[in-house]
Structure 1
Amino acid sequence: MPKTGQARVPTDEEWQHVFDVIQQHRHPEKNTAIMQISAKLGLRVQEIALLQIKEVARLKKTPPGFTLFEVMALPAAYTKGANAMGRSKSTYARRTLSFSVEEFDRVVGQIADLAKAGVDIDPARFYPPVKNRSGQSRDLPLVDEELRDALFAYLALRLDKNPSARPTDPLFITQKGGPYSPNTLQEHMALILRDWAGIEKASSHSGRRSVMTNIIHKQKKPLKVAQKVAGHKSASTTLIYDEPPEEAISDALANLTEK
């Protein structure tokens, strides 16, 4: 089972239920495309929110108005930690701080000296600097037929409603016509998975975990393959996903015998 706070990996049957139940709600083309990208490419929610039309298709004047690419080229700026295109307005809020022993001793000494001098102490003055995270670009082949069908159906509808759409327009837009913020899209995907499909503990990260679990455990591909798909700079980050799938743990517990 998933760790506390970790997104659940839906089974194949549960994913099929997700796509079935989407058809019973508004905007099925858009929601299917969003969830297909999550479940078949393993993109982070921020990456999905920042996608532009030019990442998945080339616009043209002849019907149907576009040609789907064979490969999605995901820019480095879209990946985790990047403020791509200046659309992410959230500020970084620290929850933990890490110091080396030497640095900790130095900070404690400074605080002690200031306290003896009667100076007001602002803890934030002593926080270590934030390490900027750089993005990791990657090319993801658009080979899954259900994914391609979903993108085609959504783009055909999108361009029918707005023939003047530009390549740099957001791929997915809200009902108000603007781009999704990562937080809004995260909540929307969780709504689809938990409320519509009834999958307990699922979240916008479930698709990403599903892809990694499939590559590592079901297909038994080299870790480098999973690392490339995930867009991780370090293989140690990819190892976080190297956990037995829920079905394997459930099967193990179901087959316990008394000694």
Structure 2
Amino acid sequence: MRQAQTLNEAQLRRVLHYCRSRRHPIRDQSIILVSFYAGLRAKEIAALTVGDVFDEESALRAQFILKAAQSKGGKTRTVYLNQRLRKALAEYADTIKLSNPDQPLFASQKGGAFSANTICQLFLDIYKACGFKDASSHSGRRTYIMKRPGFTGG
């Protein structure tokens, strides 16, 4: 199986620009940016709750713990939110209710949580519309990993 395409800044801007034309532009942009700037997998994005990312006072956390049940391999890990991602999530917060910490961070069009498969399909639809035939839900994660200091391998 082929590795997911990584995207450069111009390609990412193209994806984000396309997201602005969609039915849920801020949600879709936020999902893309969580993939690119936090390196989360589709399963992990689908499993995020409001309480993972926002505290009891509805303030955005600088970092959060991805629980073992939410991650691949069943291990907890700390997820750090950089300034660009924090800005996007703060904008997204203005479009959702933050009162229930257990509700999905990213609700599907039906109002419930996305499944991992549905998040994957969302990524594929967006990337296909942008002309990236080798991009997938893993593209953001691969791009994130390759930009990390000290990364030396493929």
TM-score (normalised: structure 2): 0.93
Aligned ranges 1:79-228 → 2 under 5 Å: 79-80=71-72, 134-143=73-82, 145-159=83-97, 165-195=99-129, 197-215=130-148, 219=149, 221=150
The alignment-based identity, stated in percent, is: 32
* Count of matched residue pairs: 154
Q: Secondary structure at 2:101's aligned position in 1? A: coil
Matched residue, 1:67: 59
Q: Secondary structure at 2:74's aligned position in 1? A: coil
- For 2:104 and 2:31, the matched residues in 1 are separated by 13
* Matched residue type, 2:91: A
User: Which has the larger Rg?
Assistant: 1
- For 1:72 and 1:28, the matched residues in 2 are separated by 24
Which 5+ residue runs of structure 1 have no aligned equivalent?
61-65, 81-133, 224-241, 244-259
Find out whether 1:15 has 2:12 as its counterpart.
Answer: yes
Which 5+ residue runs of structure 2 have no aligned equivalent?
none
CA RMSD of aligned residues (A): 1.6
Deviation at 1:5, TM superposition (A): 2.4
Q: Secondary structure at 1:69's aligned position in 2? A: coil
Alpha carbons 2:145, 2:151 under 8 Å: kept: no
Q: Deviations over 1:41-84 (max 9, x none)?
A: 11110000000111111143xxxxx200011211111112xxxx
Q: Secondary structure at 1:67's aligned position in 2? A: coil
Q: Secondary structure at 2:55's aligned position in 1? A: strand
TM-score (normalised: structure 1): 0.56
- For 1:57 and 1:37, the matched residues in 2 are separated by 14
- For 1:148 and 1:222, the matched residues in 2 are separated by 24
Q: Secondary structure at 1:14's aligned position in 2? A: helix
User: Which of structure 1's runs of 4+ aligned residues deviate more than 6 A?
Assistant: none
